[in-house]
Amino acid sequence: MITSVQKIASELRPGILDRLGLAAAIESEAQAFQSRTGIECQWTLPHAPMNTGQELAIAVFRIFQEVLTNVARHSQASRVEVRLEQQNGSTVLEVSDNGVGLRPADIDNPRSLGLVGMQERAAILGGDVRFETSGGKGTTVIVRIPSRQPNLTPV
């Protein structure tokens, strides 16, 4: 039971985010995904530490996990490419796969809870998530969240 509780706790707040930062957490998750699924992952990550707050790092990491879950469940992909960077005052995560592609009806479906959850996580922090797909040629998910977060503490 102690092992189960420890596993749940680490999944709620991955320690690697605190210890090594968002880029290392993304790399670690991509490596684990590749080992678990056999889907090849390539990643491009910043070498310098990223200027992200705790809430932003958690949101981007959780969105990334959901994207990978969708790739494994639905895409029939053999390859995933991940890019994380800071650009024009925002943290940007881009994940592309070479799978069957996301149907436009799925993007707008309120019952697509994973997609809705990603959009809500980003929106809470003033960001957005875009889904790009071209009939059977894969999907690209682009997450853009402002790197400077307003003080979310009530006045």
First to last CA, the chain: 41
Within 32-102, strands assigned E span 40-44, 79-87, 90-97
Cα separation, 110 vs 106, whole angstroms? 8
What domains appear along the chain, each with residue ranges and CATH number?
2-146 (3.30.565.10)
Q: What is the pLDDT of residues 4-58, one digit of tens each?
A: 555 554 555 677 888 889 999 999 999 999 999 999 999 999 988 888 888 999 9
Exposure of 153 by Cβ count < 10 A (0-12 exposed, 13-18 middle, 19+ buried)? exposed
Cα separation, 116 vs 93, whole angstroms? 17
Cα separation, 147 vs 104, whole angstroms? 29
Mean pLDDT, rounded, of the chain: 87
If you average pLDDT over residues 80-107, what whole number do you get?
Answer: 92
